[in-house]
Structure 1
Amino acid sequence: MTNRSSMRRTIGAVSAAALVALSLAFAPGAATAATAETGWLRLGHLSPDTKSVDVEVTSPSGKTVLELEGVSYGDVSAYSELTPGSYTVSMVPAGSPASTSAVISADIKVPADSAMTVVAYGPSTDLEVKAVDDDLAAPSSGSARIRLFQASTLADSVDVETSTGVPIAEDATQGSVTDYAEVPAGSWTLELTGGDKSASADVDVAAGSVSTLFVLDTADGGLTILPIVDSAAVGDAPDGGVQTGGGGTASSTSVVTRTYGWTKAV
């Protein structure tokens, strides 16, 4: 592959117990309203023992519409604006020549006027691709909406509740995604348990925001929560409400080029 964009994060191998004050602040820039039907797609690498990969999204004609380079564990991209329809997502080891066979690939269908998250998850020996529809509908005034994506390979299932005992997820199995739950905006301390492992995380959710909490493995064999904003605007989603990187969006007629610099929590 050529003309790949760069997608980088600083890896911080910290214990889940030390994960504090993670902000869900909205990244500057938002998807603008499209003059035609539009879909939004973001990609993630959630396989802890799979090395960095290069990701390519192609149309049925074989045209490359999105390329990301050096995607490592815990990376979740911003949304890219695409023409609704069918695409193929392929992943190869980072830096591989164009002739390299994909480690994994999957056919997806980007919906119209909606958003989708596609991730690779699980151990490298049983790698899977999962496509999840993102519901970016605004919460009620003064509230936020959150959901949980259980991507840890160290716990068969996890429970997450607030420090005050409000359940966020119960018996969330590997690869599962909960429904969005509406909570009052503000700072929350979340207690995470899975098997004999436990962790806590302090997260701030802004009023009007919609977020996904990804449960991941840490480098020292523990669990952690990585919060990612799905939408930060109050109003009809996805227009004006989709988190974007690099200050813009791209159509399916050109290869997306962006640089990412978010910090990971694993």
Structure 2
Amino acid sequence: MLRVAHLSPDAPNVDVYLNDEPVAELQGVPYGTISPYLPVPAGTQNVKVYAAGDTSEPVIEADVDLAAGADYTVGAVGLVEDGSLTAQVYQDDNTPPAGDNARLRVVHASPDAGPVDVGAQGGGNLVEGLEFPNASDYAEVPAGTYTIEVKAAGTDQVALTVPDVALNAGVVYSAFAVGLAEDGSLDVILTEDSMAMPDTGGLSPGGVLLAGSLLFFSAAAAGILLLRRRLT
């Protein structure tokens, strides 16, 4: 399963191609969008990202090696302005958590923010020293509602506060820290990753695009939440 995340704050809307075929519902994708998962064949798959409406040259191209039965996120990270825009491949682990726990990882996708510590307000750090553009390990936490704080690593300086984050039992989440510290546009995009997927019945590459369309229209059910908070 493969999904695409537009995490570059100064990049235009983009069109996504898989093996030189346009993904029908991933055309004109704006910044901050994280697609549902698309079922794709195992092996090496080519992902190209173009500025919307312009296929003269991809702004990102990546060959992604996909293992059977595994889940992946391909993120467009960095900035167009300084030429750092690139594709970052994250291997996802959507194994259900134990008991009444939720599982959470953090992806640092803010290009001008330094290393960060992430944790619940009033509690210890869940993630320490996470640097752009890496993802943390997954951690299991008791289900509940939390106020999440993002701090400059090794300090008590709170860069971002996200209140009322509900983590449900049995669900795997990714929290993408996006935007720019410089202009106060830091955001968190929280996704529910471990949602049930339809039976695709052994799709051919053409069938992959059809399934992608069906999955896209169920994006609301995929639990994609954009939590916007100004810098504190």
SS at match of 2:136: coil
Say which structure, 1 or 2, has more relative contact order (CA 8 Å, 6+ apart). 1
Report 1:210-249 matches (<5 A): 210-217=172-179, 220-232=183-195, 240=196, 242=197
For 2:29 and 2:90, locate their aligned partners in 1 and report how far apart those are by CA, in whole Å.
Answer: 19
For the 8 Å contact 2:112–2:180, the answer to whether it is kept is no
Match of 1:206 in 2: 168
Shift of 1:181: 0.3
After superposition, the C-alpha distances for 1:14-39 in whole angstroms (9 at most, x for unaligned) are xxxxxxxxxxxxxxxxxxxxxxxxxx
**Which residue type is aligned with residue 102 of structure 1?**
P
For 2:57 and 2:22, locate their aligned partners in 1 and report how far apart those are by CA, in whole Å.
Answer: 19
For 2:152 and 2:11, locate their aligned partners in 1 and report how far apart those are by CA, in whole Å.
Answer: 22
Match of 1:35 in 2: none
After superposition, the C-alpha distances for 1:180-199 in whole angstroms (9 at most, x for unaligned) are 00000010111112387611
For 2:108 and 2:225, locate their aligned partners in 1 and report how far apart those are by CA, in whole Å.
Answer: 20
For 1:84 and 1:174, locate their aligned partners in 2 and report how far apart those are by CA, in whole Å.
Answer: 28
| Number of residue-to-residue matches in the alignment | 209
For 1:253 and 1:151, locate their aligned partners in 2 and report how far apart those are by CA, in whole Å.
Answer: 32
Q: Are 1:116 and 2:72 matched, yes or no?
A: yes
Ranges in structure 1 where 5+ consecutive residues have no aligned partner: 1-39, 233-239
Shift of 1:42: 0.6
Change (3 A) 1:189 1:264: closer
SS at match of 1:86: strand
Shift of 1:263: 5.9
Match of 2:7 in 1: 46
RMSD: 2.3
Match of 1:102 in 2: 58
For the 8 Å contact 1:54–1:91, the answer to whether it is kept is yes
Match of 1:147 in 2: 105
TM-score w.r.t. structure 2 length?
A: 0.81
For 1:170 and 1:228, locate their aligned partners in 2 and report how far apart those are by CA, in whole Å.
Answer: 21
Shift of 1:264: 3.6
For 1:44 and 1:120, locate their aligned partners in 2 and report how far apart those are by CA, in whole Å.
Answer: 6
2:87 to 110, 122, 129: 129
After superposition, the C-alpha distances for 1:2-61 in whole angstroms (9 at most, x for unaligned) are xxxxxxxxxxxxxxxxxxxxxxxxxxxxxxxxxxxxxx0111011111111101011xxx
User: Structure 1 vs Structure 2: percent identity of aligned residues?
Assistant: 32
Shift of 1:106: 0.6
Runs of 4+ in 1 over 6 A off after TM superposition: none
Match of 1:84 in 2: 42
Ranges in structure 2 where 5+ consecutive residues have no aligned partner: none
TM-score w.r.t. structure 1 length?
A: 0.72
Match of 1:253 in 2: 206
For 1:65 and 1:109, locate their aligned partners in 2 and report how far apart those are by CA, in whole Å.
Answer: 19
For the 8 Å contact 1:80–1:249, the answer to whether it is kept is no
For 2:7 and 2:162, locate their aligned partners in 1 and report how far apart those are by CA, in whole Å.
Answer: 19
SS at match of 1:153: coil
Change (3 A) 1:223 1:248: farther
For the 8 Å contact 2:3–2:38, the answer to whether it is kept is yes
